[in-house]
Amino acid sequence: MLESYYTDSFKKISQEKQDKILNAAIIEFAEHGFDSANINQIAQKAEISVGSLYKYFGSKEELYLMIIRIGIESTKKVLEEIMLGEQDFLSRIERIIRTIQLQSRENLHLTRLYNIMAAESKSELAGRIVSEMENDTAGLYASFIAEAQASHSIRADIHPQLFAFFLDNLFITLQFSYSSDYYKERLRTFAGIDIHDQDELVAEQLIKFIKGAFFLN
């Protein structure tokens, strides 16, 4: 799927050079959004010419889609590993929460990029990406919840698809609370100025919140 966004010329350069270009693009798009991102800045940070950049990617949109695709594939892989694991319901929920806390910091610009993308006016482009990513996520969570219901691990009177939606909203908000200035400030407003140094407390309390939703009769 990634191959549809770049040219044969991009495949021929070293992995190190590919990574440098993609990292420069991720930072530029995350800091400025699609419309305001500057191709000249991306080329400069990647230490290549603008002409070379367009030789590797046919357009600014193709480069944008490429880095979004990288984020989608990475998120999907991690979620599938957790969802298909042998752990019980709450253990898998805890793994997702802790993975969000870790990766939101480690992949700060990719997380910010998703936040910007969801709010940008370029709705057609964002819609194509968001719908594909969230279709995968919705299916994983809904199946996970339905399987837990079938094994009598969680309450039976809930709607798997709606609870998947509610659960995903919690996770997205948590993700943005470590990467977006606005959401970080909201978390501090509600929970205290030093809350970002208390990952254990956040994980513990969110697990209790989710447990209350899925296990109370």
Give pLDDT tens digits for 129-164: 667 777 878 888 999 999 999 999 999 999 999 999
> Which of residues 1 and 91 earns the better pLDDT score?
91
> Which of residues 213 and 117 earns the better pLDDT score?
213
Least confident of 48-52, 68-72, 129-133: 129-133
Q: What are phi and psi of 69, to 5 degrees?
A: -60, -40
CA distances from 52 to 12, 20, 47, 62, 174 (A): 12, 13, 10, 14, 38
* Spatial distance between the Cα atoms of 95 and 103, rounded to a whole number of angstroms: 12
- The pTM assigned to this predicted structure is 0.85
* Spatial distance between the Cα atoms of 29 and 109, rounded to a whole number of angstroms: 9
Rounded to the nearest 5 percent, the helix, strand and coil shares of the chain are 80, 0, 20
> Which of residues 203 and 127 earns the better pLDDT score?
203
Q: What is the mean pLDDT of the chain?
A: 88
Residues in contact with 217: Cβ distance below 8 Å, sequence separation at least 6, in sequence order? 155, 157
pLDDT tens-digit series, residues 78-89: 888 888 777 899
What tokens appear for 14 in the block? Answer: 């070293």
